[in-house]
Amino acid sequence: MRVCRTIAEIRNFVRECRAAGQTVGLVPTMGYFHEGHLTLMREAKKSCDAVVVSLYINPLQFGPKEDFAEYPRDFDRDAAMAREVGVDAIFAPPDEEMYPEGFCTYVEVTGITGRLCGLSRPGHFRGVTTVVSKLFNIVRPDRAFFGQKDAQQAMVIQRMVQDLNMDLEVVVLPTVREEDGLAMSSRNVYLSVEQRRNATVLYRSLCAFREAVERGERDAGKLRRLMVEMISSTPGAEVDYVEILSVPFLEPLEKLRGRCIAALAVRFGKTRLIDNTIVEV
C-alpha cells in the first residue's frame, strides 16, 4: 500500500493505475477507522481495480467551537487497518497541501444544506463540498463511496456531482451499526460508559418511527413527537434536531408520502451524534 502526502504523489499513483487500464475507487474519510469505514473500503475493492482512501481531517467543515482539535487521530492504526482490507493507496495530505496560502475558492450547494446539520452547523457543508470537490479533482475516481449514516452529506454530494457534471458515480452504502444498534462513528470514543449505554435511544427512536409508519401512521408531527419524547426522557440526551423530511429535496412534510427521511442529532455531554432512517410510503 502506497502512502501519498502530496497531490503530485497521488496523481502519479492514479496515472499508473489508468495506464494499466484499472478503474479507481475513492473512499473519503477523516480517519480513526471503524467497521463502517472498512465496509466502504471492502465494497470499493469489490467494484474497482484500485482503491484510494483519503485520510484528511478537513478544518473547513468544523465550526470555531467544534471538536477539530480533539478529533481522534491515529495514522499508524488507520494505515494498518486499510492495508489489511486491501487498500492500494492512502492520500493523507497536510493542511498546506490542500489549502495553500492565498486559498480563497469554495464550492457551495444551496437549498438542501439549509436544514438538519446545515442549519445547526453553519458553514459545515461548504467545507464538505469544497474538500470533496478537491478530492474528486485530484483523484478523478470512477466511483466514490459514502455511508448512509451521513445521509444529508451524501445527498449534498450527489447534488454537487449532478449539478457540476462531475464524471463519477457516488455510491451510498447502508449504515453500519454496533450490536445494540448505535451507528458506528469515530466520535463514539468520546462517550462515557453511561452515555454510550443511553445513546442507544437514537436507534430505538428510529425503530419506533419505522414501526409506527408500518402500522399506518402518516402524520409527521405525531411521528416527530414520538421520537422527541423517547429521546428527551433519556438521561443526558439533549436534542439538537429531530426532523422528518422528503427525499431527496429535504422539504418539510405534514403527511408522509413517497421517500421520507427521519433524521436526528443528539448531544450527550460534548458529543454530538447523528442518525437517520429512510422509509418509502
Pairing of strands 143-147, 24-29: parallel
Residue 161: all three cell numbers together: 456531482
Beta carbons of 143 and 25 less than 8 angstroms apart? yes
The continuous run of DSSP H or E covering 29 comes out as strand 24-29
CA torsion angle 189 195 201 206 (round to 10): -30
Distance CA 163, CA 207 (A): 34
φ, ψ dihedrals at 8, nearest 5°: -60, -40
In eight-state DSSP terms, residue 77 is: H
What are the helix (H) ranges across the chain? Answer: 7-19, 35-47, 75-84, 95-98, 117-120, 124-139, 151-163, 193-198, 201-214, 220-232
**Contact between 240 and 272 (Cβ < 8 Å):** yes
b/e sequence 83-117, b meaning 16+ C-beta within 10 Å: eebebbbbbbbeeebbbeeeeeeebebeebbebbb
Active site residues: 37
The interaxial angle of helices 124-139 and 7-19, nearest 10 deg, is: 50
